[in-house]
């Protein structure tokens, strides 16, 4: 079956760095997405990786290793507004998104 | 950037009634639209995928007669929850994709409460 694993919850301090990991097992691979979702709101797109390596976009970076079925989202200089759920999703061979359960990130002052 | 709107944002209905949720792509042609539901503290669950002008493809376990999806144009898809029951109360989110573009653009979601 298809499976996306990510931690349920993480806590970090304002101004610090946090890494959210995601491992996946899917039937085919057409890219991995990270989305941010605040409570009661729809997800917003953060990043897309289809090739191995690191993609940097401001305070957020995303890494992919296809051979290991592994990705991480790195958030730097954490701000209180970064408190949200972070969803990892993989596009499978049918171009369907397979979603992880999300990681709730709690930022403490 | 691409914008997807959803209407209504919140709806409360009585058990047994039907509710229609609209999803519109405002500045692009949504050849494919997706409907998700999300329970509190849970991830998104894909309900169905619809391509403009054709019948929706429903995920396993989703009743097509209960959740009617119509994707009549390249900018509008509707989800009708028929004979709603309290267990249908959820957050319903649509997303849209243009052509072979990899990115899905999400609507703001609709909070449905069935009393």
Write down the pLDDT at residue B99: 82
Instruction: Give residues with Cβ within 8 angstroms of A14, minimum separation 6.
Output: A78, A79, A80, A107, A108, A109
Task: Give yes or no for B91 touching A (CB within 8 A).
Answer: yes
Question: For residue A1, is pLDDT > 90?
Answer: no
Write down the pLDDT at residue A39: 86
**Cβ within 8 Å, pair A30-B44:** no
- Burial track B79-113 (b if 16+ CB lie within 10 A, e otherwise): bebeebeeebbbbbbbbbbbeeeebbbbbebbebe
Q: How far lies B62's CA from each of A19, A44, B37, B59, in Å?
A: 35, 25, 11, 6
Q: How far is A76 from chain B (nearest CA, A)?
A: 24
Q: How far lies A23's CA from each of A57, A68, A106, B49, in Å?
A: 21, 8, 21, 25
Which of A71-80, B14-23, B48-57, B88-97 has the least mean pLDDT? B48-57
State pLDDT tens for residues A57-79.
999 999 999 999 999 999 999 99
A1 or B11: which leads in pLDDT: B11
Mean pLDDT of chain A: 94
Residue B41: pLDDT band (50, 70, 90) is confident
Q: What is the mean pLDDT of residues A81-95?
A: 92
Write down the pLDDT at residue B1: 67
Residue A79 near residue A14 (C-beta atoms within 8 A):
yes
Partner-chain residue, chosen from B43, B49, B103, that has the shortest CB–CB distance to A45: B103
Q: What is the mean pLDDT of residues A67-93?
A: 96
Spatial separation of the C-alpha atoms in residues A14 and A51, rounded to whole Å: 31
**Cβ within 8 Å, pair A101-B49:** no
Of all residues in chain A, the one with the smallest CA distance to B111 is A40
Task: Give yes or no for A30 touching B (CB within 8 A).
Answer: yes
**Cβ within 8 Å, pair B46-A87:** no
Task: Give yes or no for A6 touching B (CB within 8 A).
Answer: no
B111 neighbourhood in chain A, CB within 8 Å: 40
Question: For residue A7, is pLDDT > 90?
Answer: yes
Share of chain A above pLDDT 90, in %: 80
Write down the pLDDT at residue A95: 78
Residues 23-62 of B with CB under 8 A from A: 34, 41-46, 49
Residue B42: pLDDT band (50, 70, 90) is confident
- Burial track A73-86 (b if 16+ CB lie within 10 A, e otherwise): bebeebeeebbbbb
Spatial separation of the C-alpha atoms in residues A67 and A69, rounded to whole Å: 6
A96 or B16: which leads in pLDDT: B16
Spatial separation of the C-alpha atoms in residues B113 and A99, rounded to whole Å: 24
Task: Give yes or no for B113 touching A (CB within 8 A).
Answer: no
List, as one string, the DSSP characters of A12-67. Answer: EETTS-EEEEEEEE-SS-S-EEEEEE-TTS--EEEEEE-SSEEEEETTEEEEEETT
Instruction: Give residues with Cβ within 8 angstroms of A85, minimum separation 6.
Output: A36, A37, A38, A39, A102, A103, A104, A105
Mean pLDDT of chain B: 92
**Cβ within 8 Å, pair A41-B103:** no
Write down the pLDDT at residue A26: 92
Write down the pLDDT at residue A107: 97
**Cβ within 8 Å, pair B109-A45:** no
- The angle subtended at Cα A63 by Cα A60 and Cα A65, nearest 5°, is 170
Residue A97: pLDDT band (50, 70, 90) is confident
Q: How far lies B91's CA from each of A27, A95, B61, in Å?
A: 28, 24, 18
B93 neighbourhood in chain A, CB within 8 Å: 42-43
Spatial separation of the C-alpha atoms in residues B21 and B78, rounded to whole Å: 6
């Amino acid at each position: 079956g298809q499976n996306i694993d990510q931690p349920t919850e993480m806590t970090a301090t304002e101004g610090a760095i946090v890494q959210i990991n995601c491992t996946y097992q899917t039937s085919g691979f057409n890219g991995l997405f990270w989305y941010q979702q605040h409570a009661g709101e729809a997800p917003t797109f953060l990043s897309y990786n289809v090739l191995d390596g690191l993609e940097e976009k401001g305070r957020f970076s995303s890494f992919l290793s296809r051979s290991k079925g592994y990705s991480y989202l790195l958030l730097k200089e954490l701000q209180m507004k970064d408190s949200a759920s972070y969803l990892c999703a993989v596009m499978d061979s049918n171009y369907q998104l397979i979603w992880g359960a999300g990681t709730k990130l709690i930022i403490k002052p | 950037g691409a914008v997807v709107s959803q209407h209504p944002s919140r709806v409360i209905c009585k058990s047994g009634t039907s509710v229609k949720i609209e999803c519109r792509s405002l500045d692009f042609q949504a050849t494919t639209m997706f409907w998700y539901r999300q329970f509190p503290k849970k991830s998104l669950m894909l309900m169905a995928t619809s391509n403009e002008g054709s019948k929706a493809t429903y995920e396993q376990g989703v009743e097509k007669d209960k959740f009617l999806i119509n994707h009549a144009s390249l900018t509008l898809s509707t989800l009708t929850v028929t004979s709603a029951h309290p267990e249908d109360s959820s957050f319903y989110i649509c997303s849209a994709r243009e052509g072979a573009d990899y990115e899905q653009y999400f609507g703001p979601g609709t909070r449905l409460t069935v009393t």
